[in-house]
Amino acid sequence: MELQFDAARRAWKERDKPAPWLGTGFWYALGPSARQQLDDYLERYLNFMAPAARQNVKQICIATTPEALKTAVQQAKDAGADDVLLVPTTSDADDVHRVADILA
């Protein structure tokens, strides 16, 4: 992510543009079956991809614990993200409260 952000900053600067807004995001799952929940979601969401490609994406999706979620958000901030979009893998509205508690 940091390399992509650096490339965007250089491109804007080379064109005498103001610094770009940099955003990123990632899928997450919390709770006792978080890994399975995330994998099941990705399997459905990414079903247009070849199985090997889906597996590669699953391997980089690691936000399945409160600690991993905090780490992923911090890494995005450290890379210079202006905003981080957290994408839940459940329709359970309580997930929003869990995330708010974790990141508070």
Give the H or E element holding residue 85: strand 83-88
Helix (H, G, I), strand (E, B) or coil at 24: strand
Residues 6+ positions from 18 with CB-CB distance below 8 Å: 12
Across the range 59-82, mean pLDDT stands at: 95
The proportion of the chain whose per-residue pLDDT surpasses 70, expressed as a percent, equals: 100
Q: Dihedral of CA 79/88/41/29: which sign?
A: positive
pLDDT value of position 77:
94
Instruction: Quote the tokens at residue 50.
Output: 């070849």
Rounded to a whole number of angstroms, the CA Rg of the chain reads 16
| Across 55-63, average pLDDT | 93
